[in-house]
Structure 1
Amino acid sequence: MKLQFLDPLYAHPGPVASVYLDTSRDLDEADGAIESRWRRLRKSLLAHDADRATVDAIDEAVGADREVAGRHGQALFAAHGELLLTQCLPEPPVRDTAQYGMLPDTLPLALQHAPDIPYAVVILHRVHVGEHGGADEKLEIDCESGRWPTGRVAPGARSHRRTPVDTWPKEVEELAGELAAGMDTAGTETVVVAGDPWAVNSLMRAAPSRLQSALVTLKDGQHRHREPGRALLEEELAVLLDGRLPDRDRHQLDTFLGQRARHPEYVEGLPAVVAALQRGQAQTLLLSRPVSLDRHLWVGAGPGHLALTGEELNAFGLHYYWEEPAPGAALIRAAAGTQAELIAVPDEELPLEDGVAVALRYTSS
């Protein structure tokens, strides 16, 4: 998974206020509950010396995801009185948190983006318009794209159109072409199709071979109604995509396994990871889920300014550095700043020393 969506957070110097808040709408008096939770976090930020302008910038954005139904959360970041980034989270945080420090607390946000699988959904419905039965029979076409799992609460482009049933044979060729093009432009890996069996079968037949390999069809009536602000076929997508990795991540994981088999001391464990990120040598940062990083790191102003001790940074000629209490934030900043990607894998599937590893861009031997 690429980390460029975090770039706005690293374009500004710290300190940064980082807030993770449960903004679920699946209970009565949701607004009051959200306001109460935020009030506690606001007091905590001010008590930890966050300036009032920065806290006020977050205050204005809290609850801005009110159009999204169901369980979800919000991540908000601000610095020097400016809101830097706010995103709706597909899952509410385990607990509400507010931190004020030199680095933004980006690890929880990055993990909620992973594995970042590009997908598309197509729903085909036959409807009758007017009083003449088949003469006014139409086919409604709903299409939506997104990236899983953030697409649950932040789906991408959506289109809706209606076409006469007798023109569907021509329309289906165009639709198949659009979906195939999405595999090139957006990297779409899974296309879920549901609805009228005749229309679905027509799309299957019209799809070029590379699109057919990505198509997953659902039985008519199997799909559920879409809740406000949430993805089409959200529950079905969860069954299909939860626990999967995108193709690129699987390739990077294979690269890591090969490197670990030859030189585990270069790619696994916190010392190896820090060394690779220092040199900009990491292609991919791997983290075990659940993430458990309990060792402080030392960091400087630049993304490659990362070390196990302050003495090491001093030996590099740095005179401004600090001990960072959130090692996850330091690792994610270093990965994003050196264009490394992120893969999060369950610990039971891939145990890692210290819970961290890297796939290298190149090796010295």
Structure 2
Amino acid sequence: MRLAALRHVYEQPGPCATVYLEGRSPGEDAKEQTRLRWRELRERLQSQGAAESALEALDDALAPAISGEEQANGRVLVANAETVALQAPWDASLGGGDDAVWQELPHLGPYVREHARSIRELVVLASQTGATVRQLVIAEQHEPREVGSQDVEGSAYEQVHKPRGQAESHSRIQNRADEAVSQNAKDVVERLRKISSNFQPHVLVLAGETQGRQAIRAELHDELATILSETDRGGEGHNESDMALTDELLRIAEEAGERRAHQRSEQWQKALAHDLAVQGAQSVARAAELGAVETLLLEPGAEATREAFLLKTCSQTDAGVDLVASGSELDEGVGAILRYPVNF
């Protein structure tokens, strides 16, 4: 995650309220339960001295959830006395619960950690005539959350079926059918490149019809090929196939997360060896103020010393943020990979 995406939140004057509302399965009393949960959080903010105007703004922002429209969706909100600066989906770790904090800077550590743990999957359900392309975000211990979907029809979609027989005319028709499938695959891959430039997937999952998968795979020659994972499960539109595909997507996401953690650990060790890393709140803060932080590193389950300040400062220079593996024992729970060496 690039922290510049949160710069506008940190630019708002404080103090501010940060609210986390955990997503839960809807039930018969979900509407009432959501109302009670927000009332408890609202009272907590009042006891911390929150401005009434900020609370009223949060009332309005949470109205769809309280009315029952979005009860299953978790969210994080940041509001000061003037505006709601952030309202975004949030997939809490199971049992993470609700929270509300009124303080000078936004309390966005849990939100940032959720983003760092999440895996973005670009899923292609291929056919010989095109594909359905889905953009999924998979948070740890959660079902995939779809953030985008579109059908891609190849420009040669009417000519993909091959005739039976060995006649010369049939052979020509078969060649044209092969060419049509190839053209459709090129159209799909072109669309994938456009989607990927904005979505920045961690993994490309290729599923669906065998012939469609083969054709699309043959057209992947750039960075998308390096993140390709293929499966023959699901993609047929039936409930059992859909469930099988979902299980496969979760497995692929888990493996991708493990690879990311391993790669980040290797990068951290190499940076330390070349004086391109620091740790501890004071050292990271100085490096951040100099614009030297390339990636802010946090531990998964513990808040770092001066965390809110470090997130704000790093957001001003478009630093990234990621998690180290549990047990890394960073000084004061924070470290940084640097763009260039710094001397204090």
2-structure distance, mates of 1:58, 1:187: 31
Q: Return the letter of the residue paired with 1:273.
A: V
Report the 3-state secondary structure (helix = DSSP H, G, I; strand = E; otherwise coil) of the residue aligned with 1:159: strand
Does the Cα contact within 8 Å between 2:125 and 2:208 map onto a contact in 1? Answer: yes
**CA distances 1:283-330 after superposition (whole Å, capped 9, x unpaired):** 22111221243x5xxxxxxxxxxxxxxxxxxxxxxxxxxxxxxx3222
Matches within 5 A, 1:279-358: 279-293=290-304, 295=305, 327-348=306-327, 350-358=328-336
Name 1:240's counterpart in structure 2.
252
Number of the residue aligned with 2:116: 114
Is the contact made by 1:115 and 1:244 (CA closer than 8 Å) also made in structure 2?
A: no
Residue 91 of structure 1 is matched in structure 2 by 92
Counterpart of 1:170 (choices 183, 192, 203) is 183
Q: RMSD in angstroms over aligned alpha carbons?
A: 3.5
Higher strand share: 1
Structure 1 partner of 2:133: 143
Give the aligned residue type for 1:258. K
Cα distance in 2 for residues equivalent to 1:69 and 1:222: 28
**Contact 1:190/1:215 (<8 A) preserved:** yes
CA distance in 1: counterparts of 2:214 and 2:267, whole angstroms: 39
- Does structure 1 conserve the Cα–Cα contact (< 8 Å) formed by 2:51 and 2:81? yes
User: Which residue is 2:146 aligned to?
Assistant: 155
Paired AA for residue 86 in structure 1 = Q
**Residue aligning to 2:288:** 277
Distance 1:271 1:234, change over 3 A: farther
Shift of 1:24: 1.6
Give CA-to-partner distance per residue, 1:238-272, whole Å, 9 cap, x none.
322236469999877555323423559x7122332
Deviates more, 1:95-104 or 1:268-277: 268-277
* Letter paired with 1:155: E
Counterpart for residue 319 of structure 1: none
Counterpart in the other structure of 1:363? 341
What displacement does 1:219 show? 1.4
How many angstroms does 1:202 deviate by?
Answer: 2.5
- Residues 1:181 and 1:278: Cα distance change in structure 2 (over 3 Å): closer
Aligned counterparts of 1:188 and 1:109: Cα–Cα separation in 2? 19
Tell me, yes or no, if the aligned pair for 2:299 and 2:323 is still in contact at 8 Å. Answer: yes
Question: What SS does structure 2 have at the residue aligned with 1:289?
Answer: coil
- Give the letter aligned to residue 120 of structure 1: L
> Counterpart in 1 of 2:78?
77
- Tell me, in whole angstroms, the C-alpha distance in 2 between the residues paired with 1:184 and 1:8: 22
Q: For 1:179-204, what per-residue CA distance to the aligned partner results, in whole angstroms no more than 9, with x for missing partners?
A: 24545555444211212223222322
- Contact kept, 8 Å, 2:138 with 2:144, in 1: the verdict is no
Q: CA deviation at 1:222?
A: 7.0
Distance in 1 between the 2:303 and 2:118 partners? 22
Gaps of 5+ in 2: 162-179
Q: TM-score, normalised by structure 2?
A: 0.76
Number of matched pairs: 313
Which residue is 2:278 aligned to?
267
- AA aligned to 1:256 is W
Tell whether the 8 Å contact from 1:68 to 1:153 is kept in structure 2 after alignment. no
Q: Does the CA contact (< 8 Å) of 1:180 and 1:208 recur in 2?
A: no
Conserved 8 A contact 2:299-2:334: yes
Task: Work out the CA distance in 2 between the residues paired with 1:89 and 1:40.
Answer: 19
Give the 5 Å matches for 1:165-244: 165-166=160-161, 168-184=181-197, 186-208=199-221, 210-221=223-234, 235-242=247-254, 244=256
- 1:341–1:122 distance in 2 versus 1, CA, 3 Å: same
- The alignment partner of 1:44 has SS state of helix
| TM superposition shift of 1:344 | 0.8
Work out the CA distance in 2 between the residues paired with 1:271 and 1:213: 38
Q: Is the 8 A contact 1:269 1:353 kept in 2?
A: yes
Q: Structure 1: how far apart are the matches of 2:236 and 2:262?
A: 29
| Contact kept in structure 2, 1:269 and 1:352, CA below 8 Å | yes
Deviation, 1:47, is 2.4
Tell me, in whole angstroms, the C-alpha distance in 1 between the residues paired with 2:229 and 2:218.
Answer: 13
Distance in 2 separating the partners of 1:258 and 1:206 = 35
Q: Is the alpha carbon distance of 1:34 and 1:225 closer, same or farther for their aligned partners in structure 2, counting shifts above 3 Å?
A: farther
Q: Distance in 2 between matches of 1:284 and 1:215?
A: 25
Deviations 1:86-114 (A, max 9, x none): 11112367121111111111111111111
The residue type equivalent to 1:75 in the other structure is: V
Mapped contact 1:256–1:267 kept (Cα < 8 A): no
